[in-house]
Structure 1
Amino acid sequence: MALRTGIALGAAGLVVFGVTVPSATAADNVLRADSSANRACHTAVQSRRAQGIDQREVTSTVDGLIQARLAPRDGAEGDWDLAVFDKATGKVVAAAAALRSRELAESFVKKGQQLVVQGCRYSGSARSVNLGIDFLALTPQGTPTGSPQQPQRAEVVRVETPSRTDKSKLLSLGLDVTEKGDDTGVEVVLADDADRKTLRESGLRSTTVDADLSRTARDDAAKDREYAAKTQASGLPSGRTSYRHLYEYEYEMKELARRNPKLVRAFTLNHASVEGRDVTGLEIATDVTNAADGKPVNVTVGVHHAREWPASEHTIEWAYELVNGYQRDPAIKGLVGKTRNIVVPVVNVDGFSISREAEPKGDFSRFDYEMKRKNCQTADSPPQFRTGICKANPAGKDRGTDPNRNYATFWGGNGASTSWNGETFRGAGPFSEPETRNIRDLVSKRQVTNLITLHTYGNLILRPPGVADTRAPLDEPVLKALGDKMASRNGYRSIPSWGLYDTTGTTEDWSFWTTGGLGYTFEINTAGFHPAYQNAVVAEYTGTAPAAGAGKGGNRAAFLDMLGSAADPAAHSTLIGSAPRGHQLKLHKTFQTPTSPVLQPDGSTKPPIYVTDTLDSTYSSTGGRFAWSVNPSTRPYVAGRYGREPQGPKQTTVPLTNPVGVPAENTDYPGSPVSESIPFTVKGLPEVDNGRFDVVVQWTSPQTDWDLYVYNAAGELVTSSASGGTNSEKATLFDPPPGNYTAVMVNYDQVDPASPDDWANGRVEFSSPVPPTYGTREAYTLTCTNRNGKLVGIADVFADRGQTVDVGEVCTNSARANKERRR
């Protein structure tokens, strides 16, 4: 076999060599099968005489990795799958089952291990395919000597971030910040003593949530084995009882398509991954091959972040839900008939494959590949870290780009890392990564009216915008209402994305601000990135205990709400008119949108980058009248910002009287109630109209630390501010309901307790509501071409959300119809 020559990575602590496999003839490079068979290649070693099978036996000459690849032969395209088995036990070692003949099966092997490499012709006309096998020798990673590095204790802590300043400070530390948080704190993974030192020196306060992540990971794995062993079928639509491998996703998707050819189509997205893997998706609709039928498109995607396995599980279970429901549930059948649904379970195929196949460690060290978050990009790493394959390289899991910080909208601003090894590294530029280009191409070519991107963890439904200073879009009431409705099903919190912390370059922000399609992020479960399957997948999806959505419907019901929104004409726009049979209508828009000013590693900024987007979608006329579901013609980025007109003056400032004396120091609030309380009243209409209030207190020395908490009349915390290293606190509440409130001051720390630095100048300042702002209206260019591709009609079309626009006989009388619409 023609195999790669070796490379040495030297002092970084990892050595990789390509080793030629002993094999006799060039014919061993070609797998052949005269017929195909629809079977799972990865389930078992088949008889050599079995239909659609060809095999090679090899012996590993290394302790390390096997890489087995398939590639088309002589330009013939077909669908071949690949699997590697341990010959002695028959257990699968590695596999791949994408839709074409471009496969990569990769995993760990031992020196002397006898292996069976099996190619399976699943479908298509290609009778042969090229096979390549590499063995890569690995030494232990992590030290210059090649000896294993002892992992340090990994833990989860909750960092107190009661103010936006605190959240920004936390994000700047380069720690592994999770998506589990609320108004006053965020959970963070501390992998080692260096992380603990970074957090300690920041001055941010924290409490331990999970003192031993490795133990938790072992416990979860044991629970998964026990559940799968005792459970024949779960309550999921597929009945699945354990986390899937990438090759299982790939195989199940094409089987769903094969078994339901009129309802399901499996397809390959436009861009292969960094390592050359195809990315597979499903389209589900009646008359599924007619993608230009004018129905609204509902998209669900999973696993931008490799370690977030429940995200892909929920995505593919949704596909099963639609297929099963179409056959058995009249309500789902009706919704499927009105929509087109696209699911992409695994966006980041390289990273997920590595995370899923990695040796479980749970220590979050550099070489804990199970906890890899990013993709496999190498170009942005320092030269000494660019060598080696993604599964075994001198930078470990730290190398790569976070795909969910690589979309164009607000890219370059706060909320993403500028460092190549940061967990939220934004990449070299907007859409620099194949993962984001795939989703961009998909959304840009369809009228995607609704989109959910799935992540873990935090029990959150996040809506645009990702940056607080952006201000809410004009669609805020629509986005909030749908988010709240879905949250009523799964028990999650429905908040703007910035309510957790600022994020830039995210999926739903780009999709929404660019196209107007309603977009959300779900953060599934509260227990971790891929905790026990029974809880994070089965319970969360079906809405059973212990999920927050128990008895409410869970994510299944939330996804159905999203599907109902996609089917509702009031949630998007509709074009109606008439066109001859066989004519094609096309909606087109091209525009530029600036990123954020691009933050540099030294804290300076450079001017925004202007990114060009092109939206093209088509409708194929069946003759006569048509109805085409589309997004509003004006993209939200330029449409304006949400607000409300003041209905009265703002309330005058209310002074806060400092009670006599100074309470004792208290570092355990609210565990210890020692504090002082100051009541105040917020008035309402018709007397005043308050858009926000700010409770402000001050003292003398930044080394003194007072904390501020504000409660409503029901005793609920509504806002707080508990920063350190300042001589003031400010707690803000937007659109405060009228009523009685209480400001609670906690004496956290005094420079000199014998001479207390008491707070003073306390006050409640009020601001009027910010009126809405309105931008420029945009139009689609609508064209019509006849059967021969000749342009026969053209018009500008303006459409608002919920509006139905009659474009008339656009293919035969477009000029007159356009003038009449403008009168």
Structure 2
Amino acid sequence: MSTPRPSGPPHEGAQDVPDRRRARTRTAIGLTGLLVATGALVTLPSAQAQQTGRLSVGAAQARTCADAPARGRGVDSYRVTAPSSGLVEASVAGAGDWDLAVFDDAGEVVAASAGFTGTERATGFVQAGTPLTVQGCLVSGRPGGVTVDLSFLAITGSPESASLVSVSTPEREDKERLQELGLDLTEHADTDSVDVVLYGAQDEQVLDEAGFTFDVEVADLAAQSQADRSADAAFAASVQRTELPSGRTEYRRLADYEAELKALVAEYPRLAKPITLEEPTVEGRMVHGIEITTDVQRVHDGKPVFLHMGVHHAREWPAGEHAMEWAYELLQGYGSDAELTDLVESTRTIVVPIVNPDGFTISREAATTDTFGLFSYDNKRKNCSISANTPTAPVDYTTGTCTDNPAGRLRGTDLNRNYGGLWGGPGAEINWSGDTYRGDGPFSEPETRNIQALVASRSVTTLITNHTFGDLWLRPPGVQAVGAPLDEPLYAELGARATSHNDYANIPSYQLYDTTGGTEDWAFWTAGSLGFTPEIGTVGFHPAFEIGVVGEYLGLAPAAPEGKGGNSAAYLEMQRATADPAYHSTLTGTAPRGWTIEVSKEFLTSTSPVVRAGGVVDPPIQFEDSLYSRYDSTGGKFSFAVNPSTRPIVAGRDGREPTAPPQPGITLTNPDGVPAENPDLDPDLAQETTTFTIEEGFDNAYADLQFTWADAATDWDFYVFDSEGNEVGSAATGNQPEVLSLADPVPGEYTVMAFNYDGGDANDWAGTVGFRNPTPRVVNEPESWVLTCTDRRGTVKSVREVVVGRGETVDLGNVCVTRGRPRS
């Protein structure tokens, strides 16, 4: 057996700070100190300079407004001069489909907006004294005029210092403590560490005082971002077209997404239709997407739905790129690739590349200037909402725009902590200034309500919400204590198929660390949608385009792995699952032409027990929720794909019956004597070992180790290794009893290494190993859909309850007949 060694010294340097394991959280009040300490209060943006202008056209003309300054049909413009260096914002709200663009004196676009409606908001950065052209294009609709609201926001200062560090978290309790510190945690993590973004010396001090050690991964994120953007420019200059379906060579801006969605609808009118979600964002932007299938205008066609999303988190630019490329791949593949043709015909795909357009625009446009210095907007994570919990003193955090306020990038809510499922529990920041702030309540944000409404009304079978970074393919549950769903075997198998193409870790998201309020948790537990969160790549939130987009999407070097198809092939597995009846439920029968069949249910959804300040935990909040799906009959036989009638949250939990009794308990043998103190946990210095054996012939779902000692002032730490010398568990919390559990341990000899972390030589430890059988599968009473048939006039003709499970087909016969004859 190889010599066991702890994976890293989690208490390195702790002898200098005896109480450093006791976590200290940074509250909202602490932000004020941070602002003062960094000098941010003296670099606030100035008041906005407001202007208005008028655009008028005599006829509409389809065009891409942001291509270049133009003249002619459907376009109008006027000239202004930027009064200051900083932000420029132009907005219109008109009838028809207006697009906006602002160009500098070289004809380069500095701000643009190109949604499907007449409500547009273009944001960018300019230098003082730059002549600008404000251009409006009426793409479709009746001719006329609109008023342009134009504002300039002066910004001074220099970029903040920010770094990326890998924090040692050798056990799950360390990750939980780390989450309580109010720092900017990434999803790049493994069993022993979590990557964290640090903004200056104060964040480093927070880590140090809490007893954490770390290695620096990127010393200067601003410099890294500039290097990545330089690499992007060089790559785009050297390559006319990439192997991506779109041929794209550089990151899109928001207007690029909008214009390309519009162009795809125009190019593929029989396969693609625009979709604009219900609610505008905090800053008034609409959230746009595209639907893809044959006979695409017939929305309620009964096909299973694949929802593909990007950019919940503003700084995660590859997330939107990957979603957008999948739209291109489906549309281009129809008619030229046999499998993609079949999948486009048999499924409906909804692509929403930018869920958080306010935050994304700020992050994406900030990268084009080096004068934007109030915090790191390039690194903004959240949306632009103002929490009701935001303080108003000593400076007013509640006024101004998303870029014109002293809270800087910290304004807003983490949208991927705001969904109602499991909201309010661990793994989300309770303070408004935290990067993972959960919001003021479940679904408090318009962006998450948009996705809630979409999922609830479309019977979404499969779902992807792209993020960066970590090479992970995450699925529910977000909290370990929730337990595996009945769908876990099917869920895990689908994840394995997807990750066979990208070598991402296929795991429940709680194995990263507990998180609540995530997209796929609500979509799965409440609506039954099989959702995954890919964490794309390993080298940053928006790395060089060649790596984070081209390489990761296609599975090409320099991204890894090479040659397995990358995320493109992984998404294809999701599309296949969408079409496969094993992954959804199916209702069949007959109905008259023009009649409507609906399935629905209304219920209360519970959040997690709600964690409050000071460790107080309130009861769960209940909120009204509903699911609804519709099929418009074409007459005669139909097939209607729906989600299972029984919500996974009430269906039960997975498990298995024991095949043998658990192994009898073991009392560990403690070697004679007490080793000297070893606060560095150096296995080459003082420590002692003992062994125990897990035997064949028992069904041990868990091996539970517990260690105690008499003197509460003493501190022992324990590490467990398998027969190959691999660390399989640790108990080093600084409290007693120290406990750990090994899940499904394989038979063999195990070694326990004990360190006298703090306690002199007078107090020895005692240890036991207990064993548990697996928990049997629990299946609860099934729920039903309320199925309604309505005629052309809206008169309800029949109502019944329908119970259908995932993978099942229920034949309803003549669904609109009651007691053998149609209702009059």
Q: What is the alpha-carbon distance in structure 2 between the residues aligned to residue 450 and residue 769 of structure 1?
A: 30
State the 1:250 CA deviation.
Answer: 0.5
Contact 1:366 1:398 in 2 (8 A): no
* Aligned pairs for 1:782-797 within 5 A: 782-797=787-802
Aligned equivalent of 1:4: none
User: Structure 2 vs 1, CA of residues 682 and 549 (structure 1 numbering), >3 Å: closer, same or farther?
Assistant: same
Q: Which of 72, 78, 92 is equivalent to 1:56?
A: 78
State the 1:664 CA deviation.
Answer: 7.0
Aligned equivalent of 1:32: 57
SS of structure 1 residue aligned to 2:441: coil
Aligned equivalent of 1:79: 97
User: Structure 2 vs 1, CA of residues 314 and 90 (structure 1 numbering), >3 Å: closer, same or farther?
Assistant: same
| 1:628 aligns to 2:640 (yes or no) | yes
User: Structure 2 vs 1, CA of residues 816 and 592 (structure 1 numbering), >3 Å: closer, same or farther?
Assistant: farther
Aligned equivalent of 2:652: 640
Percent of counterpart pairs with the same letter? 48
SS of structure 1 residue aligned to 2:91: strand
User: Structure 2 vs 1, CA of residues 429 and 731 (structure 1 numbering), >3 Å: closer, same or farther?
Assistant: same
Aligned equivalent of 1:577: 589
State the 1:17 CA deviation.
Answer: 2.6
User: Structure 2 vs 1, CA of residues 487 and 748 (structure 1 numbering), >3 Å: closer, same or farther?
Assistant: farther
Q: What is the alpha-carbon distance in structure 2 between the residues aligned to residue 690 and residue 362 of structure 1?
A: 59
Aligned equivalent of 2:47: 17
Q: Which of 420, 425, 438 is equivalent to 2:432?
A: 420
State the 1:119 CA deviation.
Answer: 0.7
Q: What is the alpha-carbon distance in structure 1 between the residues aligned to residue 220 and residue 371 of structure 2?
A: 9
Q: What is the alpha-carbon distance in structure 2 between the residues aligned to residue 817 and residue 455 of structure 1?
A: 50
Deviations 1:490-541 (A, max 9, x none): 1111111111111111100000011111111111111111111111111111
Q: What is the alpha-carbon distance in structure 2 between the residues aligned to residue 363 and residue 203 of structure 1?
A: 36
State the 1:347 CA deviation.
Answer: 0.1
After TM superposition, the structure 1 stretch with the greater mean CA deviation from structure 2, 663-672 or 784-793, is 663-672
Aligned equivalent of 1:151: 160
Q: What is the alpha-carbon distance in structure 1 between the residues aligned to residue 638 and residue 402 of structure 2?
A: 50
State the 1:715 CA deviation.
Answer: 4.0
User: Structure 2 vs 1, CA of residues 271 and 576 (structure 1 numbering), >3 Å: closer, same or farther?
Assistant: same
Contact 1:82 1:103 in 2 (8 A): yes
User: Structure 2 vs 1, CA of residues 19 and 181 (structure 1 numbering), >3 Å: closer, same or farther?
Assistant: closer
SS of structure 1 residue aligned to 2:117: coil
Q: Which of 777, 780, 788 is equivalent to 2:782?
A: 777
Contact 1:12 1:394 in 2 (8 A): no
State the 1:16 CA deviation.
Answer: 3.3
User: Structure 2 vs 1, CA of residues 259 and 204 (structure 1 numbering), >3 Å: closer, same or farther?
Assistant: same
Aligned equivalent of 1:761: 766
User: Structure 2 vs 1, CA of residues 742 and 688 (structure 1 numbering), >3 Å: closer, same or farther?
Assistant: closer
Deviations 1:577-619 (A, max 9, x none): 1111111101111111111122212321222211111111111
User: Structure 2 vs 1, CA of residues 360 and 137 (structure 1 numbering), >3 Å: closer, same or farther?
Assistant: closer
User: Structure 2 vs 1, CA of residues 746 and 45 (structure 1 numbering), >3 Å: closer, same or farther?
Assistant: farther
Aligned equivalent of 2:496: 484
State the 1:342 CA deviation.
Answer: 0.6
State the 1:674 CA deviation.
Answer: 7.8
State the 1:363 CA deviation.
Answer: 13
| 1:185 aligns to 2:193 (yes or no) | yes
Aligned equivalent of 2:69: 45
State the 1:20 CA deviation.
Answer: 5.0
Q: Which of 319, 328, 334 is equivalent to 1:320?
A: 328
Aligned equivalent of 2:261: 253
User: Structure 2 vs 1, CA of residues 587 and 666 (structure 1 numbering), >3 Å: closer, same or farther?
Assistant: same
SS of structure 1 residue aligned to 2:608: coil
Q: Which of 720, 728, 735 is equivalent to 1:718?
A: 728
* Aligned pairs for 1:341-360 within 5 A: 341-359=349-367
Q: Which of 730, 747, 764 is equivalent to 2:755?
A: 747
Counterpart of 1:78, as a letter, is G
Counterpart of 1:30, as a letter, is L
State the 1:718 CA deviation.
Answer: 3.1
* TM-score of the pair, normalised by structure 2: 0.90
* TM-score of the pair, normalised by structure 1: 0.90
Q: What is the alpha-carbon distance in structure 1 between the residues aligned to residue 333 and residue 606 of structure 2?
A: 42
Aligned equivalent of 2:698: 688
| 1:176 aligns to 2:184 (yes or no) | yes
SS of structure 1 residue aligned to 2:324: helix
State the 1:572 CA deviation.
Answer: 1.3
Deviations 1:671-727 (A, max 9, x none): 96986543332234xx3211211233344566665443333334443333343x234
User: Structure 2 vs 1, CA of residues 741 and 460 (structure 1 numbering), >3 Å: closer, same or farther?
Assistant: farther
Aligned equivalent of 1:103: 120
Q: What is the alpha-carbon distance in structure 2 between the residues aligned to residue 668 and residue 218 of structure 1?
A: 38
Counterpart of 1:810, as a letter, is V
State the 1:11 CA deviation.
Answer: 6.7
Counterpart of 1:693, as a letter, is A
Counterpart of 2:244, as a letter, is L
User: Structure 2 vs 1, CA of residues 214 and 108 (structure 1 numbering), >3 Å: closer, same or farther?
Assistant: closer
State the 1:61 CA deviation.
Answer: 2.6
Contact 1:213 1:363 in 2 (8 A): no
Aligned length: 780
Q: Which has the higher contact order (CA 8 A, sep 6+)?
A: 2
Q: Which of 507, 532, 537 is equivalent to 1:520?
A: 532
Q: What is the alpha-carbon distance in structure 2 between the residues aligned to residue 149 and residue 259 of structure 1?
A: 44
SS of structure 1 residue aligned to 2:500: helix
Contact 2:155 2:371 in 1 (8 A): no
User: Structure 2 vs 1, CA of residues 157 and 277 (structure 1 numbering), >3 Å: closer, same or farther?
Assistant: same
* Aligned pairs for 1:671-682 within 5 A: 676-682=688-694
SS of structure 2 residue aligned to 1:643: coil
Deviations 1:555-591 (A, max 9, x none): 1111111111111101111111111111110111111
| 1:127 aligns to 2:143 (yes or no) | yes
SS of structure 1 residue aligned to 2:720: strand
Q: What is the alpha-carbon distance in structure 2 between the residues aligned to residue 389 and residue 588 of structure 1?
A: 40
Counterpart of 2:446, as a letter, is P
State the 1:268 CA deviation.
Answer: 0.9
Contact 2:553 2:566 in 1 (8 A): yes
Q: What is the alpha-carbon distance in structure 2 between the residues aligned to residue 155 and residue 536 of structure 1?
A: 19
Q: Which of 107, 111, 133 is equivalent to 1:94?
A: 111
Aligned equivalent of 1:143: none
Unaligned runs of 5+ in 1: 1-9, 141-147, 819-823
User: Structure 2 vs 1, CA of residues 675 and 814 (structure 1 numbering), >3 Å: closer, same or farther?
Assistant: farther
User: Structure 2 vs 1, CA of residues 365 and 746 (structure 1 numbering), >3 Å: closer, same or farther?
Assistant: farther
User: Structure 2 vs 1, CA of residues 700 and 167 (structure 1 numbering), >3 Å: closer, same or farther?
Assistant: farther
Contact 1:361 1:368 in 2 (8 A): no
Counterpart of 1:585, as a letter, is I
Aligned equivalent of 2:19: none
After TM superposition, the structure 1 stretch with the greater mean CA deviation from structure 2, 742-751 or 284-293, is 742-751
User: Structure 2 vs 1, CA of residues 673 and 529 (structure 1 numbering), >3 Å: closer, same or farther?
Assistant: farther
State the 1:55 CA deviation.
Answer: 0.7
Contact 1:708 1:731 in 2 (8 A): no
Counterpart of 2:85, as a letter, is D
